Chains A and B, each alone.
Chain A
Amino acid sequence: MLSDATAITSFDGTESVVARLARPERYRDLEALVARGPAIARGAGLSYCAASVGQSALGIDMTRFDRLLAFDEQAGLVTVEAGLRVGPLTQFLASRGYFLPVLPGYPAITVGGCLAFDVHGKSQHHSGNFSESVASLELLHPAHGRLELSAERRPDLFDLTLGGLGLTGVVTRATLRVRKLPGHAMQVEAVPCRSLGDAVDIMRTRAEGVDALYSWHDLNRTSGFGRGVVFVERFIEHGGKPVPTVQRDPRRRGRFALWNAVTTRSALAAYALLQRWRGRRTLGVHQAMFPIEGLEGYYAAFGRRGFREYQLIVPFSNWDGLVRELEPCVRRNRVPITLASLKLFRGAARHLSFAGEGVCLAVDVPANERALSLFSALDELVVKFGGSINLSKDSRAGRELCRQIFPGFAGFATALTAFDPKRHFQSRLRERLDV
């Protein structure tokens, strides 16, 4: 029933924890395991940091709780178990003509994981974060039993659990608000942009009435830093049926690291050419919603050393300032940037969630010393420009930095301790943040 203590590595390959796991299938067994001692719920295990394992905690794999429980078309509500993956959920909803307005980029991620990190998607500029589509949820805590939470019932605890890093308890089921699917295909338009600033101008003028919006940039170029493409996506009427896709293991890593200055520059140049050549195209809903599916090789190519991602939001007013300081900062640290992407964000900061109003920038680099020095430089920029970082994609930020960045940090820690003074739910992430 329980595995022996084994080393479990975070998705980015940089945090490793020796922990025990269990994968119950019955509610009776789940309750017994949660009550056994310190625990933490685990979904697909695709958090970039070690959020679903802890040295002293039993990692409870929820992936067998993957059932659809209710679907109310009139009200636009679907109730599911927390271990259900968003790919199959999207497939089911699409077959009934509905979709989830906020989806992460990879279909294997579970609903519980989306909830715990209050994830966002390419629709953030109009639909906000995942928590905004959660109508209610059921939380299991050994000291409090099963709690039904919503904006009406225990709203404070409901709010604390959405983006609560799994530390309030195990979410067993959730009711999500769904929307009518405008069409079974998406038209993707690739608009070339000259720089990061240019991309934001294009995105802000095109944002109205667009279903998904993001950009891609090459930050390795000596001339034309940040040249790239803005992707503007809209649902269109399409008679085609949803296509089931092949699932590969995104956690697989190659033996060798293939990304270096030369391979990165060539791959990115080839990608830019491909986008220019493609121009406008139509994708099936599944393909358009989960753009990372099929690109598992990108992560495998980082090898055993893994990679690191930095994702930040800065207010619109500070974006130009950040971009000005970003270029010299990237040049100084000389690390190949394998991915750089922008999204637009709306909304307000909520405890430790990745939320707020402004521009979101994500940067991937191979994990090494220079990556760390680049990231500490980025930390300074984030603090200076009043930004925020994404904890689900970070495996190094500590308590001090987070206290500076998140206005709700102290409030989160206090509320968590008030609800669960014994700190029953534990993870490496919790240890690192010391909340």
Chain B
Amino acid sequence: MSSTVIVGASSGVGRALVRACSAAGQHLVITARDPVDLEASAADARLRHRVACTPVAEDIARPDFSADAFADRCFAELGTVESVLVPAGGVSDDDIGANPTAIDPVHATNFLGPARLAAAFGRRMAERRRGTIVLFSSIAAAAPRTRNVAYSAAKAALETYARGLRHALSSSGVEVLVVVLGYVDTPQSFGQKLKFPVASPESVARAVLKRLGRGRGRGGRLHYPGFWWWITTILVYTPWWLYRRLKF
């Protein structure tokens, strides 16, 4: 039976991952800030699918968060950890244009926390010569705009960190994967009028599990929904005079 750690499990994609992984019979450690939400998700996974599911309330954005202690606890709880999924992160309303106070908290949630976790789990998985680390980025990393400036930078940093880590761990049997998400039907996007179709969190979870099931060596990035690969690629090569005028 495989075992998975999901960090950022109480909302959006994280919640859907808890459902999909428990439906697939995986034993889980799930983590988020609020114990009430976690307990509910854990009870649901245990009841519906009869898997072991341990809620661990933890704030990975805290400056004194110890990823090593957390990883040790997860390995102890599950025996071994096959994969760690980190859909944690989020946008901040303050993160618009030039705003120095928005940068620190946004980087703590979207870059520092997930990167620390990837490092701590990566080291332990490398010792056992197996495991998968899945980090979540956003199309905003490739196309930064007035809204969510610090968020885009944090996600870009996370993607870069993941590429380096993937390279570092490539000979030790550990896979590092980045899932680049387009619009997903989460509380953030609820009620917004968006110009592109919105993917359900359940479909994201299905795509992630499908990609994990395929095994290694297929490239370290997965765009979901797939059409965002085309959009971001075009945006990256769009000349400035045009990019500046784009409204979306």
State the A residues within 8 Å of B (CB): 1-4, 20-29, 64-65, 67-71, 81, 92
| Chain A interface main SS type | mixed
Chain A residues with Cβ under 8 A from B58's Cβ? none
- Determine whether the beta carbon of A68 is less than 8 Å from that of B48: yes
Chain B residues with Cβ under 8 A from A70's Cβ? 43, 47
Complex: A29 Cα to B36 Cα, angstroms: 12
- Determine whether the beta carbon of A1 is less than 8 Å from that of B43: no
- Determine whether the beta carbon of B191 is less than 8 Å from that of A68: no
Question: How many pairs of A and B residues are in contact by the CB < 8 Å rule?
Answer: 58
Partner of A3 from the list B11, B15, B188, B190 (CB cut-off 8 Å) is: B190
Partner of A2 from the list B44, B47, B191 (CB cut-off 8 Å) is: B191
- Interface size range on B against A: 20 to 34
Chain B residues with Cβ under 8 A from A28's Cβ? 34, 37
Partner of A1 from the list B10, B191, B193 (CB cut-off 8 Å) is: B191
A22-B43 in contact given A27-B34, A27-B36 (Cβ < 8 Å): no
Taken residue by residue from 160 to 202, chain B's Cβ proximity to chain A (1 for < 8 Å, 0 otherwise) reads as 0000000000000000000000000011101111000000000
Chain B residues with Cβ under 8 A from A68's Cβ? 43-44, 47-48
Interface residues of B in 19-44 (CB under 8 A from A): 34, 36-37, 40-41, 43-44
Chain B residues with Cβ under 8 A from A25's Cβ? 10-12, 15, 37, 186-187
Some 27 contacts from A to B, beta carbons below 8 A apart, are A1-B187, A1-B188, A1-B190, A1-B191, A2-B190, A3-B190, A3-B192, A21-B190, A21-B191, A22-B190, A22-B191, A23-B187, A23-B190, A24-B187, A25-B11, A25-B15, A25-B186, A25-B187, A26-B10, A26-B11, A27-B36, A27-B37, A28-B37, A68-B48, A69-B47, A70-B43, A81-B40
- Determine whether the beta carbon of B34 is less than 8 Å from that of A3: no
- Determine whether the beta carbon of B48 is less than 8 Å from that of A92: yes
Chain B residues with Cβ under 8 A from A22's Cβ? 187, 190-191
Residue of A nearest to B36 (CB): A27
Residue of B nearest to A70 (CB): B43
Shortest CB distance A80–B (Å): 9
Residue of B nearest to A79 (CB): B43
Residue of A nearest to B47 (CB): A68
Complex: A69 Cα to B11 Cα, angstroms: 17
Residue of B nearest to A29 (CB): B187
Residue of A nearest to B10 (CB): A26
Residue of B nearest to A67 (CB): B44
Shortest CB distance A244–B (Å): 12
Chain A residues with Cβ under 8 A from B43's Cβ? 67-70
Chain A residues with Cβ under 8 A from B44's Cβ? 67-69
Residue of B34, B47, B188 with most chain A CB atoms under a 10 A cut-off: B47
Chain B residues with Cβ under 8 A from A3's Cβ? 190-192
Residue of B nearest to A78 (CB): B47
- Determine whether the beta carbon of B40 is less than 8 Å from that of A67: yes
Complex: A71 Cα to B187 Cα, angstroms: 29
Complex: A22 Cα to B190 Cα, angstroms: 7
Shortest CB distance A211–B (Å): 26
Residue of B nearest to A88 (CB): B48
Shortest CB distance A57–B (Å): 15
Partner of A4 from the list B41, B48, B186, B191 (CB cut-off 8 Å) is: B191
Given A4-B193, A27-B37, A28-B37, 11 more pairs with CB closer than 8 A: A2-B190, A21-B191, A22-B191, A25-B11, A26-B37, A67-B43, A68-B43, A69-B40, A69-B43, A69-B44, A92-B48
Residue of B nearest to A96 (CB): B47
Chain A residues with Cβ under 8 A from B48's Cβ? 68, 92
Chain A residues with Cβ under 8 A from B12's Cβ? 25
- Determine whether the beta carbon of B41 is less than 8 Å from that of A26: no
Chain A residues with Cβ under 8 A from B40's Cβ? 65, 67, 69, 81
Residue of A nearest to B12 (CB): A25
Chain A residues with Cβ under 8 A from B190's Cβ? 1-3, 21-23
- Determine whether the beta carbon of A67 is less than 8 Å from that of B187: no
Residue of A nearest to B35 (CB): A27
Shortest CB distance A52–B (Å): 16
- Determine whether the beta carbon of A92 is less than 8 Å from that of B10: no
Complex: A25 Cα to B41 Cα, angstroms: 11
Shortest CB distance A60–B (Å): 11
Chain B residues with Cβ under 8 A from A1's Cβ? 187-188, 190-191
- Determine whether the beta carbon of B36 is less than 8 Å from that of A67: no
